[in-house]
Amino acid sequence: VGVVDEPDRDALTQAWKSWMEEYIKVSGKVPPGNESGNVTWTRPQPKKKPDLRLTPGRHVQLTVPLEELVDKLVKENKVVAFIKGSRSAPLCGFSQKVIGILEKEGVDYESVNVLDEDYNYGLRETLKQYSNWPTFPQIFLNGELVGGCDILTSMFEKGEIAGLFKN
């Protein structure tokens, strides 16, 4: 075991280099794990998109009603899923199921966390009125409500998701 006194970056790099050279001299190979191009421990999942937020925060007074912001959001984005929790950590079984389906089918979608009281304060009630739909999750396509978990699951089982949600 080698010991490095005063381990600043340069000293450590030097020490590593000399250990590598010794090892290579003796065994003719690079010690395993020290080669570049080793992908065993790289991040397995590509980073997920962040959830969209409707407002800049509760402290900011809205200049337009929340309903307008919702309307704008669903019209400007092809697929929007209003879920409980975030897409990386849904807080409800139905929302989780919906995210699972969208991810599995590789749909490009936006997600909004309706339980986020800081950035989406009042969203749940506003959305229930806007969509005339009392529960979450709610999935919108091209500005219109497709349905909730049951409807999406039924479409998924019939193989309708890709054709409808993707181009």
Partner 1 sequence: MSFRGTTTLLSRATRIKSKLQSSLEATVLELDDVSYQHAGHAAMKESSEKETHFNLKIVSDKFEGQSLVKRHRMVYDLLSDELQSGLHALSIVAKTPKEITPHAK
Q: Is 133 in the site for partner 1 (CB under 8 A)?
A: yes
Which residue in the block uniquely carries the two structure tokens 């990386």? 88
Q: Is 87 in the site for partner 1 (CB under 8 A)?
A: no
For partner 1, the binding residue among 56, 93, 106, 163 (CB under 8 A) is 93
Q: What is the DSSP string of 7-31?
A: --HHHHHHHHHHHHHHHHHHHSSPP
Q: Is 121 in the site for partner 1 (CB under 8 A)?
A: no
Is the Cα dihedral 27, 33, 35, 39 positive or negative? positive
Q: Is 141 in the site for partner 1 (CB under 8 A)?
A: no
Q: How many residues bind partner 1 (CB under 8 A)?
A: 19
DSSP conformational letter for 85: B
Q: Is 15 in the site for partner 1 (CB under 8 A)?
A: no
For partner 1, the binding residue among 149, 156, 161, 165 (CB under 8 A) is 149
**Distances from the Cα of 81 to the Cα of 9, 97, 99, 102, 158, angstroms:** 47, 12, 8, 9, 20
Residues in touch with partner 1 (CB under 8 A): 84-85, 91-94, 115, 132-135, 145-151, 154
